[in-house]
Amino acid sequence: MSFTLLGALNKRTVRAPVNPMDKSTIVSIFPREIKEVKHTIEPGHFSIPAGTVEKPGLLVVGPSSWWKELEENQPLLEIPTSSIVVADSIVKDWCNGVLACNMGDTIPGLFYLPGEHTIFTILKDHKSRLDLAIERQNRWYLALCQMADALWATSGGNPRTISEVMRIAAQALGFEDKPWIKDFQMAAMHRCEACGNLRDPRYPVCPHCKAIDPKHPMAKELKFAV
């Protein structure tokens, strides 16, 4: 076997068996899917489902590894990274790149716990952590809304200055009277095919003429009292 081929074989990244008990759970009450990629570790692609206070999104992660190069023609040295370190990196790196997050008391509702957990155990045994996440996320939402107010004022009411996450924040806090929320809601309205008035496409029934949108997924489930 040539030295070139031998060197190539030695440089393969082959993982050793992992500890099946080494698991951590990332918990999210942010209502959008979160994706985080770590290019230097394996596994390195992570997707946290969208979550709510009543039904948090959960991702159970195990250990990952990275490889250190030694001398020429020597096998790569695997460096295992525990699940708790992986979970901590995912949470901190994603939050650190988010607008208006101070990495302290004003952050998205994202945290992690050692071990494998379910929604039931999170709500039952870790309510204090969940309450803290709610408090910090609401504070983050408020900071986003204050930033949106300033952007709306300085831009002369340009809707392009308002990001999706700012609208999510306003809706979560009940700030439906914000002018930049009303403008967005009006832009998202559709005309009813029956009467021509604007209606909210999130609902199957037109509030003006009571016509049902047959394309709406809830249309077939509607039942009316007689």
pLDDT 10s digits, 162-194: 999 999 999 999 998 898 887 655 445 567 778
Residue 220: the pLDDT is 73
Top pLDDT among 83 and 10 is at 83
pLDDT reported for residue 72? 74
Quick one: 64 exposed, middle or buried, by C-beta within 10 A (0-12, 13-18, 19+)?
A: buried
Task: Write down the pLDDT at residue 183.
Answer: 60
Residue 151: helix, strand or coil by DSSP? helix
The per-residue pLDDT for range 143-167, each reduced to its tens digit, is 999 999 999 999 998 888 999 999 9
* Greatest CA separation for the chain: 85
CA distance 167 to 49: 20
The domain ranges of the chain are: 3-126, 135-221
pLDDT computed for residue 184 by the predictor: 55
Cα distance between residue 168 and residue 181, in whole Å = 10
Closest CA relative to residue 29, chosen from 151, 152, 144, 112: 112
Q: pLDDT higher for 76 or 86?
A: 86
**Angle between helix 164-173 and 179-188 (nearest 10):** 110
pLDDT (mean) for 70-97? 92
Stated pTM of the model: 0.77
What is the rounded distance in angstroms from the CA atom of residue 126 to the CA atom of residue 187? 41
3-state helix, strand, coil in the chain (%, to 5): 35, 20, 45
Confidence of residue 196 (pLDDT cuts 50, 70, 90): confident
3-state secondary structure of 172: helix
Q: Is 25 helix (H, G, I), strand (E, B) or coil?
A: strand
- Residue 203: pLDDT over 80: no
Average pLDDT, the chain: 87
Are the C-beta atoms of residues 62 and 83 closer than 8 Å to each other?
yes
